[in-house]
Chains A and B, each alone.
Chain A
């Protein structure tokens, strides 16, 4: 167990790349974990999340900044001496060794006495319910079993830090949900500081104590799942976190500092959550989540979006409808038993408190008042 500190960590691949953006895989990464925290790094592919993890692992050298594990600067320390364990997306089991030998490998390198190795491998195997597989070779295992062995190989070492690089992405959907829960349980039981890389925001939201959202090598926001959902820093985070994605409408804030007008849509902004005075008369990106839109028949409603449904997706518990409003695609999550059809003209409204306001130019959220009290 350990506290991991990353200070101004950067990875620059040098001039070999065509553009500066690609050469700077990660820039100015700052994060300090709590002891035993579960951190998820999430972002679209190429955002630098895997590179960041590989720098923590020591598989890539950081070109700037420092990485500390329990206060010790490990930037110059080889991967083998960092006391970290990693679960690879491909599992990377040693194909010529049995499951037992796979799990015992690191311990035997450390010259741990044989009886202790046996004890520890058996303990780890029983935690993961793979005791009956110990004599098998990886090729005789299913995907889910290989995944467990990969986890077992990591936990048997009792390392200071766990690194998991998209460990579930090769599993089918059902198994993925099971393993997700299992990894969380495992983490609770072992309490080892864990970094978990994924591109799947559902995985990030369900697993992370804190989530680091990355894009183009830059941290966009580091926060709890709730805070990311309720108070995203910018348009990117707002759109990335939550399924289906948040809706955005470009609207102009009136001189009264309240009325927002689009081409057809209208809203009333609330200054309770975000300070909007400075943006009077300017364009804003107004975000509202699909689950916060409701059908209305009141044409005089303060917040009103009108449009014609062009996609209906009944999911049973809810029905998703999509419509085109003022050149933006709007998704609304309606009650499952709503009877709507393609081509229906509908009106949607929402609570002003549910609006997320962003500067249309910088795409940054307008300053928030509350200190995310409701999010903890």
Chain B
């Protein structure tokens, strides 16, 4: 009986995985096709692969590297700034909770309930006045604002997982608040901080709504790079797919390498 059900689970698991993975596979396959075969009404599974689309994508417009730099710069900076703000906020809420801590946490997450398009006009007007449109820092500020609630929430939960006894032991050992934070809590919460940072990085990297509306050329990210293959002359499936592959590849590779770091728990063996 048990073997049967685990076999069933495995089949379901594989089906789900294949359904999830298929669009990515199709994107990669399309990227390796010629425009004609990419557009063919009967999908071609057997074809001669070509890197032509990648070559074109890398040379077209300002080229891949301009967008890639903007994507990298905005996502890394917004992640670092986000962590720098989220850590002290979460620290205060986790270790010095007040009556309103729970409310604050819920309130912060509630800002995520508003659809981005709902605040597009006011933000656009403010940005226009401040001259932040088509500016890297303008996008960074938006990404920080967008990710901060999740980051605070995540870091808060990792801080909450640090055993209270250990924090008290540090206090009795003579550690000041800062020493406790930097020498005990942050090292213990490091895997959690890493996964928080990674998530923020991925969210910022993949962000397209604000990137497409608030940036034109100077600050345009890879989202704009992909979109640029949808032009007045028509859709270029193969090139667009090649651009997409080049956009998601770095983040997939990063996720692959960071997997262990995200899963590993440092706190094992701390208590009992």
Chain A residues within 8 Å of B, Cβ to Cβ: 57-59, 78-81, 84-86, 88-96, 105-106, 109-110, 137-141, 143, 153, 157, 170
Contacts and interface: CB of A to CB of B under 8 A. Distances in A.
A81 B271 CA distance: 25
11 contacts: A80-B173, A85-B173, A88-B169, A91-B271, A94-B170, A94-B184, A95-B266, A139-B268, A139-B270, A153-B169, A170-B272
Of listed B171, B176, B187, residue having the most chain A CB within 10 A: B171
A78 B168 CA distance: 12
Given A90-B271, A90-B272, A92-B271, A105 B165 contact: no
Interface of B: 163, 165-166, 168-176, 179, 183-184, 187-188, 190, 266-272
Given A86-B169, A88-B168, A95 B174 contact: no
A79 B171 CA distance: 6
B172 A84 contact: yes
Contacts of A90: 163, 165, 271-272
B174 A80 contact: yes
Contacts of A141: 269
B181 to A, nearest CB: 13
B59 to A, nearest CB: 49
A156 B163 CA distance: 23
B169 A59 contact: no
A90 B269 CA distance: 10
Nearest to A93: B270
Given A80-B173, A80-B176, 6 more contacts: A90-B271, A93-B270, A105-B170, A106-B173, A153-B169, A153-B173
A161 to B, nearest CB: 11
Contact of B175 (A85, A95, A109): A109
Ranked nearest first, the 8 interchain pairs of A and B with the lowest CB-CB distance are A139-B269, A95-B270, A92-B165, A106-B173, A92-B169, A90-B271, A96-B187, A80-B174
A17 to B, nearest CB: 16
A168 to B, nearest CB: 13
A52 to B, nearest CB: 16
Given A109-B175, A138-B270, A139-B268, A92 B188 contact: no
Contacts of A84: 172
Contacts of B166: 92-95
Contacts of B269: 95, 137-141
A153 to B, nearest CB: 8
A139 B174 CA distance: 24
A252 B113 CA distance: 75
Given A88-B165, A94-B166, A80 B270 contact: no
Nearest to B168: A59
Contact of B163 (A78, A92, A109): A92
Contacts of B272: 90-91, 143, 170
A333 to B, nearest CB: 35
A91 B176 CA distance: 20
B214 to A, nearest CB: 41
Nearest to A109: B174
Contacts of B165: 88-90, 92
Contact of A80 (B163, B172, B187): B172
Given A88-B168, A90-B163, A139-B268, A95 B173 contact: no
A88 B166 CA distance: 9
Given A90-B272, A92-B271, A59 B171 contact: yes
Of listed B166, B184, B266, residue having the most chain A CB within 10 A: B166
A140 B271 CA distance: 12
A196 to B, nearest CB: 16
Contacts of A106: 173-174
Contacts of B163: 90, 92
B185 to A, nearest CB: 10
B267 A109 contact: no
Of listed A85, A90, A141, residue having the most chain B CB within 10 A: A90
A102 to B, nearest CB: 9
B174 A92 contact: no
